[in-house]
Amino acid sequence: MNRKIKVLIGEDDVFIAEYLRKVLLSFEYNVVGVFSNKQDILDGLANLNPDIALLDIKMENQYTGIEIGEFINSEIHIPYIFISAHSDKKTLEKALLGKPAAYILKPINEQEVNIAIRLAIEKFANSTEKNVFVVKEGYKHFKILVKDILFVKADNIYSEIYTPKNKTVVRKALKQLVEELNYNNIIQVHRSFFVNIEHITQIKGNIIYLNHYEIPLSRKFKDEVSKLFLERTSFS
């Protein structure tokens, strides 16, 4: 399992960074990059697609690790572990606000690092939230709450995901996308459309109304979609 886990290290102490790299290699992790400053770490996160990051809290004499953790939470959506020589209340409070997967104190214990990574990866995989779908656009990752999806639409080799606020285009066939979303309330209503039944406000003739959108309803799916819609509205 460890061979497949890609780890990025952010540490500005050259000796500790090299020690960490050797420890991870001994456990057969794939160290995709070792960086010592904020910009290089951000570039590595965007371009190397690590599964997890190990970050020193204080780099360049600032709380750089915490800033990077905030970036990961908002843009990259992977687990990260803080490694620090600081256990004072102020540092701990600042660090824990970002909800890291773990907080490891220096001097580093090899087994502690290994166990922390394994647990972080497992917990993240279990929580990645059948409720959340992560898509990549360019160098950025976006988290979409599946329950917020209004509908998805086929567009040649791409698919479009519509939420009340945004449209996101992904390079996936429509049925592949729906399988990955793995959400029972998203149902097919047309050759080119799947709709989240929770957001349907009205079905009239061969048109489904949700939000301000009008979605075509094929005869093939009409009876089943109408039945599900009526069942949902009767219980609401």
Whether residue 161 contacts residue 135, with contact meaning beta carbons closer than 8 Å, is answered with: yes
Q: Is 105 helix (H, G, I), strand (E, B) or coil?
A: strand
Q: Give the residue from 127, 158, 193 where a domain finishes.
A: 127
Asked whether residue 35 falls in the same domain as residue 119, the answer is yes
Selection from 169, 226, 184, 224 nearest residue 203 by Cα: 226
Q: What is the pLDDT of residue 17?
A: 95
Selection from 235, 3, 236, 5 nearest residue 120 by Cα: 5
Selection from 152, 155, 154, 133 nearest residue 144 by Cα: 133
If pLDDT is split at 50, 70 and 90, which confidence band does 77 have?
A: confident
Asked whether residue 10 falls in the same domain as residue 104, the answer is yes
Q: How far apart are CA 108 and CA 49, in angstroms?
A: 25
Asked whether residue 44 falls in the same domain as residue 87, the answer is yes
Q: What is the pLDDT of residue 139?
A: 58
pLDDT in tens, 131-189: 778 777 665 667 788 889 999 999 989 999 999 988 999 889 999 999 888 888 999 99
Asked whether residue 54 falls in the same domain as residue 79, the answer is yes
Asked whether residue 97 falls in the same domain as residue 181, the answer is no
Half-sphere exposure of 122 (CA within 13 A, CB side): 8
Name the token pair of 44. Answer: 């590595």
- Residue 92 belongs to a domain with what CATH number? 3.40.50.2300
Asked whether residue 12 falls in the same domain as residue 34, the answer is yes
pTM: 0.59
Asked whether residue 163 falls in the same domain as residue 105, the answer is no
Selection from 207, 206, 205, 195 nearest residue 232 by Cα: 195
Domain count along the chain: 2
Structural domain span for residue 139? 132-235
Q: What is the pLDDT of residue 1?
A: 43
Q: Could you tell me which residues are beta bridge partners of residue 33? A: 8
Whether residue 8 contacts residue 27, with contact meaning beta carbons closer than 8 Å, is answered with: no
Q: What is the pLDDT of residue 87?
A: 80
Asked whether residue 31 falls in the same domain as residue 120, the answer is yes
Asked whether residue 122 falls in the same domain as residue 139, the answer is no
Q: Give the residue from 88, 110, 127 where a domain finishes.
A: 127
If pLDDT is split at 50, 70 and 90, which confidence band does 2 have?
A: very low
Asked whether residue 120 falls in the same domain as residue 154, the answer is no
Instruction: Identify the burial level of 198 via C-beta atoms within 10 angstroms of its C-beta, where 0-12 means exposed, 13-18 middle and 19 or more buried.
Output: middle
Q: Where are the beta strands (DSSP E) in the chain?
A: 6-10, 30-35, 52-56, 80-84, 102-105, 132-137, 140-145, 151-155, 158-162, 167-170, 186-190, 193-196, 202-204, 207-210, 213-216
| Cα distances (Å, whole numbers) of residue 68 to 10, 97, 108 | 9, 13, 21
Predicted confidence (pLDDT) at residue 233 exceeds the cutoff of 80: no
Average pLDDT of span 66-75: 87
pLDDT in tens, 17-63: 999 999 999 999 999 999 999 999 999 998 898 999 999 998 877 88
Q: Give the residue from 74, 98, 127 where a domain finishes.
A: 127
